[in-house]
Amino acid sequence: MYVCICNNVTERDIEQAVRDGARTVDCLADRLAVSTCCGQCRCYAEESLQSALGALDGSEELPLAVAV
Ligand code: FES
């Protein structure tokens, strides 16, 4: 489903950007240009971001310890 019509950004694009490290709407704007034209999609972009981040929880491997 399209999130940003102006820039042809879909939910899948946002999910991939989150897997690649995006954590804020501003970061999505830098990477995908979402919400950089009319701005009408910003709230939906935020919802899509939060959904993608929620899906990422538990699947992202984090180091259990850091060597010093
Ligand atoms: S719909 Fe996203 S900037 Fe216009």
Give 9's strand partners.
4
Amino acid at 15: E
Return d(Cα 36, Cα 40) in angstroms, integer: 9
Give the CATH number of domain 2-56; options: 1.10.10.1100, 3.30.450.20, 2.60.40.10, 1.10.357.10: 1.10.10.1100
Mutate to test the pocket of ligand 1, among 38, 43, 46, 47 (most ligand atoms within 8 A of CB): 38
Mutate to test the pocket of ligand 1, among 2, 5, 9, 31 (most ligand atoms within 8 A of CB): 5
Question: What are the extents of the domains in the chain?
Answer: 2-56
pLDDT tens digits, the chain, 68 residues: what are they? 999 999 999 999 999 999 999 999 999 999 999 999 999 999 999 999 999 999 987 665 555 565 66
Pocket of ligand 1 (CB under 6 A): 4-7, 34-41
Would you say the pTM of this structure is higher than 0.85?
no
Return d(Cα 34, Cα 67) in angstroms, integer: 38
